[in-house]
Amino acid sequence: MSFAIRLLSFAIATSLTGNVAHGLSTTTKRTIYPEVHPGPGLPTLAELNLTSEALYTMSPKFDSRELGDQPALASRSSLYTDNCQTYSTANVDDVIACFNYLENIGSNTCGFSGDNVQFCYAGTAQITGSNIFEDPVVASLCSDVAIGVQWIFTYCNVGGQVGGLAAAYGNGDLIVGVENVDQGCCS
């Protein structure tokens, strides 16, 4: 092999190695996550020492309480049945980010007066609450609201799109909704 070819081979090898060492031939792409927005009166992400990225990347902490029949529901809950819907759906990752938010504020109260409230929105998803018996105030622990969200994204996930309604755990008066944020429930 001639000196010129060996020199050219060395130059190419050094050039490629140098580029890899300096990160020029590899691309590191940072994922941008949608902002997670708490509902009115709920703690901010900063107050919980959380970020939107953390809520999107953490594994969901599934609640071990019964998801199916929810035996601890209030007596009036027999008037309501959890159900899936497809007319307004949201990306499952956005839903789970809001679920993770609600789980992280677990023992806080998710309560409101009036008909409807938005507990969280992120990306395409909004998590809402409806006061179906129009009591002056309806409330549950945020972890109980999260169980309603868990039921919906477990049983109402079609191709990564989620939509539905479920009672908050232990409270048939508060119905949790998962729908597309563009539906405009409570803005």
Single out the residue of 93, 138, 147, 94 nearest to residue 117, CA to CA.
Answer: 138
Residue ranges of E strands in the chain: 36-38, 83-84, 90-91, 109-113, 116-122, 125-131, 137-141, 157-158, 161-162, 164-168, 171-180
149's CB contacts (< 8 A; 6+ apart) are 95, 98, 99, 102, 127, 166, 176, 178
DSSP 43: P
Model pLDDT for residues 130-179, shown as the tens digit of each residue: 998 877 888 999 999 999 999 999 999 999 999 999 999 888 889 999 99
Residue ranges of domains in the chain = 1-30, 36-183
Which tokens hold the place of 11?
């130059």
Task: For residue 108, count other CB atoms closer than 10 A to its CB.
Answer: 16
Distance, CA of 10 to CA of 25 (rounded, Å): 18
Helix, strand, or coil (residue 116): strand
8 Å CB contact between 148 and 169: yes
* pLDDT tens per residue, range 9-58: 434 343 433 433 434 445 677 889 999 999 999 999 999 999 999 999 99
Look at the pTM and tell me if it is higher than 0.85.
no
- Whether residue 5 is predicted with pLDDT greater than 50 in this model: the reply is no
